[in-house]
Amino acid sequence: MTDEQFKAKTVLVTGAARGIGRAAVVEFARRGAQVVAADLDGDALAVLGREHPDAKTVVADVAQEADVQAMVAAAVDRFGSLDVLIANAGIIPMAPLLETSTADWEQVMAIDGRGMFLSCRYAAEQMVPAGSGAIVCVSSISGMAGQSGQSAYGAAKFVATGLVKHLAVELAPAGIRVNGVAPGTIRTDRVVALETEPGGPEYLADIVRKHPLGRLGEPSEVAAAMAFLASDESSFVTGAVLAVDGGYLAQ
Ligand SMILES: NC(=O)c1ccc[n+]([C@@H]2O[C@H](COP(=O)([O-])OP(=O)(O)OC[C@H]3O[C@@H](n4cnc5c(N)ncnc54)[C@H](O)[C@@H]3O)[C@@H](O)[C@H]2O)c1
């Protein structure tokens, strides 16, 4: 069902080719938005583009400033404005601290950290003169609380949570709301692949037990929360990080 309020809105989704980002593209397209789908993986993006021919696809690495500038420019060139940013692109490396190298830290900080900053920075550059906009940063339960094996990834997700708080305050006078989602463990390809990996089924059974609702989340459930935070229904909500985690953080 389309949603009148999104009809003339341009929504830019990063990390759009797979998983949660892909679900966001499907959700905003279903609501009738003008969707710009950006991803590093051109092949996966081409598949998405064939399924959603109305969406504008852009190959972009969010860790690269020139790519982010070009991604935002492509959205504005195609649709004339940028109303919503879904800053979702990220990698999810997990390893014990003593097996985490400086290179591991630099890589996840470049993508999940700097990439999140750059996406917000250049989206806001378009939104500030317009006097309106909504940004949704994808954090994680790992960006809200401590977990084992996530010294680099978890710290990078705290960047998303931090940007939500600081940008919500800074950009409020410009009419821009900045919120986040903190997904629990979501049934994306990476998580499904664990079922056939050594130790994977045990890890999955344990992680499911840690979510009080007793199951993994679906990408579409995160996308629905993103749509709420990007919509007029959340017009007095800014600086919030909404847990979409089956109760994980409530414990
Ligand atoms: N899956 C989960 O359980 C879970 C839980 C909490 C938070 N998250 C967060 O949700 C977001 C999406 O995760 P997902 O599970 O859908 O991952 P995914 O691996 O299924 O999809 C991520 C997409 O981002 C793209 N990408 C990777 N690096 C990029 C870069 N530098 N520039 C542009 N695109 C890039 C990939 O090509 C891929 O299409 C991430 O920020 C992740 O931290 C995921």
Sequential pLDDT tens for the chain (251 residues): 789 999 999 999 999 999 999 999 999 999 999 999 999 999 999 999 999 999 999 999 999 999 999 999 999 999 999 999 999 999 999 899 999 999 999 999 999 999 999 999 999 999 999 999 999 999 999 999 999 999 999 999 999 999 999 999 999 999 999 999 999 999 999 899 888 988 889 989 999 999 999 999 999 999 999 999 999 999 999 999 999 999 999 99
Q: Compute the distance from residue 239 Cα to the ligand 1 centre, in Å.
A: 22
Residue 17 and residue 39 in contact, taking contact as beta carbons nearer than 8 Å: yes
CB contact at 8 A, 194 and 203: yes
Of all helices (H) and strands (E), which one includes residue 184?
none
Is 248 one of the catalytic residues?
A: no
Q: Where are the domains of the chain?
A: 4-186+218-246
Do residues 55 and 77 make contact, with C-beta atoms less than 8 angstroms apart? no
- Domain 4-186+218-246 - what CATH class? alpha beta
Q: Which residues of 61-98 are buried (b: 16+ CB within 10 A; e: fewer)?
A: bbbbeebbebbbebbeeebeebbbbbbbbbbbbbeeee
* Residue 23 CA, closest ligand 1 atom number: 16
Pocket test for ligand 1, best of 13, 14, 18, 157 (most atoms within 8 A of CB): 18
What is d(CA 105, CA 113) in angstroms, rounded to the nearest whole number? 10
Taking alpha carbons only, the member of 32, 43, 31, 38 closest to residue 16 is 38
CA of 173 to the centre of ligand 1 (A): 31
Please tell me which residue in 122, 153, 203, 248 is annotated as part of the active site.
153
Quick one: which atom of ligand 1 is closest to the CA of 17?
39
Structure tokens of 213?
A: 């609702």
